[in-house]
Every structure is written in C-alpha cells, then in structure tokens.
Chains A and B, each alone.
Chain A
C-alpha cells in the first residue's frame, strides 16, 4: 500500500536533522558506578570458583542442596549454614541458541546459554552458563556436560572463571 504513496503528508525527518541540531534534543551519557558486597553465601561461592570447584549449600529442613549457595532457604526460611562441595558436571535442563549478541549485533554462529543441573545438587538446581566445544545441532536437553575452567593463575573469583561447559563423552558413544 504505502509503496504507492509518493509524498507523505507532514515534514519528513532524517537522522541528519538530529545530528546537525535541526531538531533539538538533549543527549546525556550516564556514568553510574556500583559495587556489590557479595556477602557470606555468594562470597563463598566465588572463593570456591577461584579455587576451581563448585560450592552449594544444604537445607536440613527441606533436604535440598542448592547452587549457588545462599544463607537462607527460600522454601522454609531457615538459615542454610552447611556448605557442600559439588561436582563440576551436570545435565542440561534447557538451552537456547542466541543469534543476537549482548550489544545487539547479529551473528551467524550462535552463543549457547544453558541451565545446567549440577551433579550433587537437588533436581532443578543448577547454574546458568554457556556451552562450548559442541555444534548447536548436537545439543539436547538431558545432555551430560562438564565445566571447562580458566587456568588457575587467571581465575579471579567470578562466574567467568568457568569458560563454558562442554559435553562429556558418554560411555559407549
């Protein structure tokens, strides 16, 4: 329809009308800066990542082991004060193939976010990370994966101390 219209009513605006200041607007660039005290629960988790292992916490009342560890159980509100070392392996609960980057660029090779239920944690308890060393078409829900860590000297106590999770070759496959 609109392709037939040669001249739209009104005054058309182009991007240059804004950049050249013909249309007035105020531009501003924020410089907000925050820190987050990680506290007891997440602080312990990050310290463990720096050491190269995964840490969870356990609620005796609910008999649940969760990761990342937290100081309060969200189900029963009891304190969670026992910490458990967990495997760095797990099972893909869900995943996606992302064709748009963080800063909104289109890409052809997708990024691979996944929720991984960690072995030793209660069912449905996992961590969000990315997958690697795998073709997108080979990924499936229920796939067994393992963390690929940064070298010890490069780890800084951050979720990025794990580079990604890669498939574990299942016995017999």
Chain B
C-alpha cells in the first residue's frame, strides 16, 4: 500500500485542429508506441493493466472499452475505460499500483473532437433533460453565467481575463504540440464575436485532436525501468452539486476539495510555497483565474491582478500553462487534463524544449470536465 508510484513513460500524438490522415485508433497507437519506448517496456509482457478514458456519447460508439485494446497492446489483458478526464484515469492507474493489483499500468486519453460533427448538441446532453435542456440554450451560456458571477464577486476585469488568453496563446508558440499559438496583444483577446456575454469567442478555447499515453510503475519497478522517474505525490478528484439552480456560481469548491485531497497525500501544507509551476484548466480564460484561486495558489480575487503583473508568465514566480493551455494547445475534450500532466512531466524531466522552465521540482496539473459540470481533478508530480 505504501509504495510510491512513478510516471516512467509518456507519449503523445497531435495536437491538431483536424487529423483526417489517422483513425482514432491510429492516433492512440502513435501515442502508445512513444510512451512504451520512452518507458522501455513491452506492453505485451510488461504492462499489467490498461486504463483509458472515454465518453461513449463523444466517441459515437457504446461501450467504448471494446475499441481500446488492440492499439494499446492490451488484447487479452486487464483493460477498463472510465468516463472521466485523463486525470481521473491517472488517479485510477495510481490506485491500481497502490493496491498492488498491478506493477505497471498504461493510461490513455484522446480527443477526436473533429469527428464529433454535432459537438454542441452532444454537450447539451449533459444538461438536465427535464429542467434545463427544454430551454434550448447553447451550453456556453453556463460559462457566461459563471464568468459574470465570478467577475461580480471578485472584481476581476475582462482585461484581466484577456491577459490569460494573451499569455497562453504566446506560450503555445514555444510548444510544438500546440495547435493554436498566436502572438496576441490584449486587443486580440478583448475583441471578436460574443458567445455568452461576458464571454467572448477569443477567450474560449477551440478543440483539437490528439492522444496521450502515460506509463505508471510501482517504486520497485520504476527504479529498475527508469533513470528519471517522475513521482506522483498526490491525486485528488471531486464533484460539486450539479444543479444549475443552486450551485455556487462565483467559486469552484470542488476544485478546492480535489486539490486538498492531492495536497494531503503529498504532505503539502502551503501550496503557494510548494508548487513551483502549474498547468490548470483554461477552457475559458476566466477559468484559469478561478482555478488558481480555488487551488490555493493565490488569494481569492487576486488571480487577475497577479496575471496582469506577470506572476504566471514563464519567467514569473508561478508559471501557469507554459504549455499554452487549452487556449493555446487546443481543447482536447477529456484528454485535456492528461495533456497537462504530460506537460508537467516534460518540464520536470527537463524535456520541455524552448518552453523549459528553470529549476522546477514540483508541479501541479488540474482538470475540469467543462460545462455544465462541477467535476475536476488534481495531480501533483515531482522529481
């Protein structure tokens, strides 16, 4: 039970706005091959269990776990699919190792968003069918409601939200995986079509296709297999009350709870001191600010001004979304959280290329499952 768990290999495919040259299976295969090569393991003989995250509604196939084994090297081996974010998948993999069920686990997450032709309608199916969906509102109205209340309660300005978009779009220019990098100025993130006021399109992420595979191992195996393991110090997850009628619109307490769970496992009392960099959900620019506050990485209502002051830039005190985030890389549906864990691993190993952060030894990845959910997860990784 007490054995630590390490990330010993990572692989990815993408990220691109469209990927017509590859099937989703081939996208997953590309990521899996890289991850197993990185980990130095043969999936047929050395990986004990496989986890993939997928939502049938998005895949367009029921019981999606049937479509997983071949391309992960998991045929006739323990496999299961969970409908959650990639970080939920990682947490599941960690539990498989911690409970002694498996010594080496592969966790996969992917997005073929370009193949979901009616994605807004699919997203709308996450709304309550009796109370909310009959009103026939585009799901992004929920982000508009939340953003408005958050700005109202904290005094956060539209310009401060725009500063998030500018930072992340620019960070993405240094990330070869990112699909939506751009050399923006503040005006670019303040103009453009409205989605659901106060939310404008330039502050909302566009979707991308991609796949990520992470190989986890027990401490014993990690020490044999890897000369640069990245340790999973904590993994937490939480859901709030789903009701659109009575949720706390200006805050995201489920993220705080998920973080507390992860901090507790990691033995972190003061996250502001302990966490050196973070990859947090920025499906919409304002969400990065809400999430930083909920994670305890800054005070309530402070994230906007700290962002304007440059604290979260790559050379700031707490670099946030050096990867470019969802705004810069593209939103990878339920692989979004996994893309953040991947970035944290690459940064910790010193493999982040032009966007490599200086002297980082502990990082945090956080996910949110998008509107209308109150579902999030947090993973803390360290050298």
Q: Render A71-84 as a binary contact track against B, CB cut-off 8 A, 1 for contact.
A: 11011110100000
A79: B residues at CB distance < 8 A: 33
1/0 per position for B337-374, CB-CB distance to A under 8 A?
A: 00000000000000000000000000000000000000
Most buried by A among B23, B57, B115: B23
Decide if B121 touches A31 in the complex (CB within 8 Å). Answer: yes
**Is residue A37 within 8 Å, beta carbon to beta carbon, of the partner chain?**
yes
A34 in contact with B60 (CB, 8 Å): yes
Residue B21, interface by CB 8 Å: yes
Stretch at the interface among B66-74, B150-158, B271-279, B287-295: B66-74
Distance between B11 CB and nearest chain A CB, rounded to angstroms: 13
Quick check: B116 and A39 within 8 Å, CB to CB? no
Contact yes or no, B129 A37, CB < 8 A: no
Query: Which residues of the other chain, B, contact A77 by a CB distance below 8 angstroms?
Result: 36, 42-44, 73
Q: Is A36's CB under 8 angstroms from B23's CB? A: yes
Q: Is B223 an interface residue (CB 8 A)?
A: no
Contact of B23 (CB < 8 Å), options: A30, A37, A75: A37
The one of A31, A35, A40 in contact with B26, judged by C-beta atoms closer than 8 angstroms, is A40
Q: Per a CB cutoff under 8 Å, which of B23, B60, B115, B121 touches A41?
A: B23
Interface residues of B in 36-74 (CB under 8 A from A): 36, 42-44, 57, 60, 69-71, 73
B23 contacts across to A, CB distance below 8 A: 36-43
User: Contacting A72 at CB < 8 Å: which of B42, B60, B70, B130?
Assistant: B70
Residues of A within 8 A of B247 (CB): none
B21 neighbours in A (Cβ, 8 Å): 37, 39-40
> Is the pair B73, A41 in contact by a Cβ cutoff of 8 Å?
no
- Bin the interface of chain B by size: 20 to 34
Residue of A nearest to B115 (CB): A35
Contact with B134, one of A26, A34, A41, A72 (Cβ below 8 angstroms): A26
Q: Which of B71, B114, B133 has the most CB of A within 10 A?
A: B71
Question: Contacts A37-B19, A37-B20, A39-B21 known; A72 to B29 CB distance under 8 Å?
Answer: yes
Is A11 an interface residue, CB under 8 A from the partner? no
A39 adjacent to B26 (CB under 8 Å): yes
Q: Is the CB of B29 within 8 A of A75?
A: no
Contact between A71 and B29 (Cβ–Cβ < 8 Å)?
yes
Closest A residue by C-beta to B36 = A77
Asked if A37 contacts B118 (CB within 8 A), the reply is: no
Q: How far is the CB of A81 from chain B (nearest CB, A)?
A: 12
Interface CB pairs A-B, < 8 A, 11? A30-B125, A31-B121, A33-B117, A34-B115, A36-B23, A36-B115, A38-B23, A40-B23, A40-B26, A72-B71, A77-B36
Given contacts A34-B60, A42-B23, A75-B44, 7 further A-B contacts (CB under 8 A): A28-B129, A32-B122, A33-B116, A36-B24, A39-B25, A40-B26, A72-B29
B residues apposed to A, CB below 8 Å: 19-26, 29, 33, 36, 42-44, 57, 60, 69-71, 73, 75, 112, 114-118, 121-122, 125, 129-130, 133-134
Query: Residues of A with Cβ closer than 8 Å to B?
Result: 26, 28, 30-43, 70-72, 74-77, 79
Lowest 6 A-B CB distances belong to which pairs? A39-B23, A34-B60, A33-B117, A77-B73, A33-B118, A74-B70
